[in-house]
Amino acid sequence: MELSDYVRTRLIHSQEVSSVAEDLAFQVARKIEDLQTLDAATREAIPLVAATCGLIHDLGNPPFGHAGELAIQTWFGHKQEHDSKFLDGLDEQQRQDFLKFEGNAHSLRIVSQLFLLADHYGLNYTCGTISASRKYLPPSHRTGGGHSRSKPGHFWSEREVVDIVGRKTGAIDCRHPLAFLVEAADDMVYSVVDIEDGIKRKVLDWNQVQGYLEEECAGDRIFEDAIQLAEQQIKPANFSGPARGEANGTGI
């Protein structure tokens, strides 16, 4: 029987990515000399843009994540296979939007058009924010050639948005710099969730994890600072100790 009500949701993951992306962008903006010539308001907006992109980075993912994407793609593929006229009247990108459905492209559709508040511009983000949120670049019928071009970046319905954003930001056929930081934040958070969940559920022991990391990262100053900070948060929470089911001898 599970006694904990702790469940890691996609919202928790997105909040974590947002927090890490904001901090990464803050540190980068503080250390790049060319950015010091910008006015204070613009400099302060940089980490906020990264935080926003982190929060929405999985917004367009269907239920079951990549498996859900595959299910949508497969359904339309089977439908077209058994009904050759199913997608008649659509151009090549419009057809591929269905056959290569992609969560990141759908995120752009949600924030720019579907989530209506007071106008017809979705959440009405700035061009910089939309540009920074674009993990992938090409339309669905022109994918291929490197990581940023390996998947569709936008649907046919958002082609004008992408064109305007590219001209306004200068990122016409390349990634916005903050997009790299947001993806790095996503990878960083995703790489440690199993360990963190294991410790919180007392399947793993923090002392074992710490010992392993100390062997792998011995002498690294950044690692030592991180361990010090982690201990300040972990010890009060009592995340070390017996594995789940051993505390009361019941095996529950």
User: Over the stretch 212-228, which tens digit does the pLDDT of each residue have?
Assistant: 888 999 888 888 888 88
DSSP structure class, residue 139: B
Range 10-178 classified under CATH 1.10.12.10: no
- pLDDT for the residue 198: 81
- pLDDT for the residue 194: 83
Phi, psi dihedrals of residue 106, rounded to the nearest 5°:
-70, -30
Other beta carbons within 10 Å of 29: 19
DSSP letters of 6-43? ----HHHHHHHHHHHHHHHHHHHHHH-GGGGGS-HHHH
- pLDDT for the residue 189: 93
Q: What is the token pair recorded at 232?
A: 């300040």
Determine the Cα–Cα distance for residues 190 and 239; give it in Å rounded to an integer: 20
- pLDDT for the residue 205: 84
Question: Does residue 220 sit in helix, strand or coil?
Answer: coil
- pLDDT for the residue 8: 80
Determine the Cα–Cα distance for residues 222 and 224; give it in Å rounded to an integer: 5
The answer to whether residues 62 and 68 touch, using CB atoms and an 8 Å cutoff, is yes
DSSP letters of 166-207? HHHHS-SSS--HHHHHHHHHHHHHHHHHHHHHHHHTTSS-HH
**Every domain of the chain and the residues it spans:** 10-178, 202-246
- pLDDT for the residue 100: 95
Low-confidence ranges of the chain (pLDDT < 70): 1-4, 118, 234-252
